[in-house]
A and B are shown apart, each in its own frame.
Chain A
Amino acid sequence: MKNIPLSAMIGLFFTALYFLAAIFAPLIAPYGMSDVVSNEIWAPASSEFLLGTDSIGRDLLTRMIYGGRTTIFIATAATILSFVTGSVLGFFAAVSGGWIDQVLSRFVDLMMAIPSLILALVVLAVVPVTLPVIIVLMGLLDATRVFRLARAVAVDINVMDYVEAARLRGEGTSWVIFREILPNALSPLVAEMGLRFIFMVLFVSTLSFLGLGVQPPLADWGGIVRENKDGIIYGIPAALWPAFAIATLAISVNLVADWVLNRTTSLKGGRG
């Protein structure tokens, strides 16, 4: 773990900061999540309210911390879900080949042909909007992208002699997927995971901004933008804080992902 480049250090620091703030939100936040603590709406920053107050007089810093908790939790859970389903199915399609591959791949093509935001809006308009529903929906929609990547990587690995050697030994599909292919496909997948996580943050924020994501009074960054967007007209920066948070989180996570990618793909083929 020595020789971490500066960019990765910065990335790690801010990523850790956001995640810690999310985990320990109840301990850090100065007020309760949905407590109206001031009579003044959109109060400017003061020693009492470090970022000021929001559209109905709640402490904005508290909202931001709790909002980060919700956003990061949803994004993380959906990313994990999409990677588990996407990569397992992608590997399975690559290893099986033939009609299994065709059915899975064409189904994924079909899903990708529909813009995911529109599909998500349609589904969320029909089913009750709860956290598990949002997570499963986002995870499955994104799994199609992961499936494509995982299949492409696995198709290359699948023709290597060591996979053939495993087949000649009589190994089953699960050994081939989890012991021969997965360890060698990990580095592109990890890098993609960083990228996908950020898309998840953006996606859930978009849904919330449109009012179909996280429901009030629960805070999340997209929701905070929505609640405070009218303030922008009067020069109130409350809606910009979540945007700033999303941007910095995106950059830090990608700095870390870049570093992981560099570490695992050296000039020598990166199998070290």
Chain B
Amino acid sequence: MSDPLLRVRDLKIGATVYPPGEKPKKIEIVHGVSFDLEKGKVLGLIGESGAGKSTIGLSSLGYGRGGVEITGGEVWVNGRDILKGGIKGLRKLRGAEVTYVAQSAAASFNPAKKLMEQVTEGAISHGRMTRAEAEKRAVELFRKLGLPDPENIGNRYPHQVSGGQLQRCMTALALCPKPDLVVFDEPTTALDVTTQIDVLAAIKEAIRDTGVAALYITHDLAVVAQVSDHIMVLRHGETVEYGETDQIINAPQKEYTQALVSVRSIEHAENLPKGDPVLRVSHVTARYKGTNFDVLKDVNVELHPGKTLAVVGESGSGKSTLARAITGLLPPTGGRIEFAGRTLSPGLNQRTRDDLRELQMIYQMADVAMNPRQTVGTIIGRPLEFYFGLRGDAKRKRIRELLDEIEMGDGFIDRYPAELSGGQKQRVCIARALAAKPKMIICDEVTSALDPLVADGILKLLLDLQKIEDVAYLFITHDLATVKAIADSIAVMYRGKVVRYGPKSDVLAPPFDDYTDLLLSSVPEMRLGWLEEVIASRRMESAGN
């Protein structure tokens, strides 16, 4: 056996940070990571945000994002230490021997150029192929990746294909110059589960057929288990565990890996509702101004006090629009919304202060849901002041109580949002909603921007608070694992319609309608061979039809 394709030894990466009011200082973000990658193998790099996985992935191209530089160690590609080759050596390497697939294909393609031009650019400019050869290869790759109309899709512009197709085009772009190594940086994270599975299968097949080696970076252990031969678990820039996929998934050694594997272990028994619902949405239809397309079509759901209704669906299914219609941000064009026994006026401006107070909302991105120029005390204190007229000591006392409830100390009261972690920010948003003593909280994808372990903590907190405060949740999510964990009843939405609705046990039990079946079977499971099984069973079904 000759040298491995990629050999990383004791890699150290530093970054410059700019703490407010102090001089910039250098910190180390990756502390000596080592691994090998053989030809044709896939190594999965996994860890929560800030673990350094993308940084390590990019280092195999000899690249550091703004302010990040490789400070020590060796990176050998094809028997050359690329860190010693200077910028000229790197230029020959990048886009030719080593290529990169970014998370957001939509942001990475040039919207003004046709796909074919961009896919073949690397191969041509590096002189690895002539234009005709490169275009032929691109068409082959389009076909291999399952893109529709492979002969002509290259003539389209990036906005003329869907998100999942664009991500596959990007994979074609990376594979076109016949590289030895491809770095996949969260290629499916921004996609819906139903799209993710297709892209995942296409990537896996392409890797197998072209014999290229790959680094696959993701935060989703279930995804990485499907595509990689080895897995490296990272935390705080250090290797936690490194081994074969089978071992990491089925017999993790370290506590942190075990926590990752067993995440989403929350059990929430379904409660049957009694009495009158707190929210009744009947025959609601809505459309955005200036369009003639209904984004919500005849939606009927009910939510009982102290219960959780999960609204599931892929992006564009209208689940967030439903939230906007209920809150009054988008007045519905038809139907009725009853809340706590009274009919809500469609528009926000006509609603009473009590309507507003009893119906609170928590957002997906806690970062932008809080004014960055207000302290935690102001953010939580404002609803208290606004709805209950609390001031001075009484207000401060209540803020402390709320901070206790969200399991944060009162030391946070004078901090700004920028000084909080992602999970803490979301907790503050929860406290802000609770401060209004609501009857119902709309949670719009509240955990999807968070790392799995942190998201788990938030879900547990929400369930505990529900027991104490007896508040109802309308929980909007695309993540079925979350739904299983917390819902009492479920509404599955597809293209603006509720296609399946009922208590959790009914919705998640067969017989399924087609869409729910597709949705349920697309959620990655944390076991080896899951992807093949799903693909095989779908092929059989379509062959049978």
Interface residues, chain A, CB within 8 Å of chain B?
Answer: 2-3, 160-162, 164-165, 167-171, 179-180, 183-184, 266-269, 271-272
Contacts and interface: CB of A to CB of B under 8 A. Distances in A.
Nearest to B444: A161
A160 B383 CA distance: 18
Contacts of A179: 371, 374
A184 B372 contact: yes
A22 to B, nearest CB: 32
19 contacts: A3-B23, A161-B363, A161-B365, A161-B369, A162-B368, A162-B369, A162-B371, A167-B329, A168-B328, A168-B348, A168-B360, A169-B382, A169-B386, A183-B371, A266-B18, A271-B416, A271-B417, A271-B418, A272-B418
A164 B386 CA distance: 16
B18 A164 contact: no
A271 B348 contact: no
A165 B383 CA distance: 11
Interface string B351-365: 101001100110101
B86 interface: no
A77 to B, nearest CB: 28
B389 interface: no
Nearest to B417: A271
B327 A271 contact: no
A167 B348 CA distance: 8
Contacts of B296: none
B239 to A, nearest CB: 28
Nearest to A272: B20
Interface string B11-49: 000000010110100000000000000000000000000
A161 B368 contact: yes
A231 to B, nearest CB: 51
Contact of B371 (A168, A170, A180): A180
Contact of B327 (A2, A3, A168, A171): A168
Contacts of B18: 266-268
A2 B20 CA distance: 11
Contact of A169 (B371, B374, B383): B383
B418 A268 contact: yes
9 nearest CB pairs, A to B: A271-B372, A183-B373, A272-B20, A161-B369, A170-B356, A162-B371, A161-B368, A161-B363, A160-B368
A31 B95 CA distance: 74
B365 A170 contact: no
Contact of B386 (A167, A170, A268, A271): A170
B373 A271 contact: yes
Contacts of B67: 267
A267 B66 CA distance: 10
B372 A169 contact: no
Nearest to A267: B18
Nearest to B356: A170
Interface in B435-459: 436
A180 B370 CA distance: 10
A9 B165 CA distance: 54
B373 to A, nearest CB: 4
B421 to A, nearest CB: 14
B418 A165 contact: no
B327 A269 contact: no
Nearest to B364: A161
Nearest to A186: B373
Contacts of A162: 368-371
Given A184-B373, A266-B18, A165 B363 contact: yes
Nearest to A165: B369
B386 A171 contact: yes
A165 to B, nearest CB: 6
A184 B356 CA distance: 25
B356 A169 contact: yes
Nearest to A1: B21
A167 B359 CA distance: 13
Contacts of B66: 267
A131 B371 CA distance: 41
A171 B382 CA distance: 10
B325 to A, nearest CB: 13
Contacts of B327: 168
Nearest to B19: A272
Contacts of A168: 327-329, 348, 356, 360-361
A267 B370 CA distance: 19
Nearest to B382: A169
Contacts of A3: 23
A12 B67 CA distance: 30
Contacts of A167: 329, 348
A160 B370 CA distance: 9
Nearest to A162: B371
B502 to A, nearest CB: 29
A231 B369 CA distance: 64
Given A162-B369, A268-B18, A268-B418, 14 more contacts: A167-B329, A168-B328, A168-B348, A168-B361, A169-B356, A169-B383, A170-B351, A170-B356, A183-B374, A184-B371, A184-B372, A266-B18, A266-B20, A267-B67
B24 to A, nearest CB: 10
A268 B20 CA distance: 10
Interface in B361-414: 361, 363, 365, 368-374, 382-383, 386
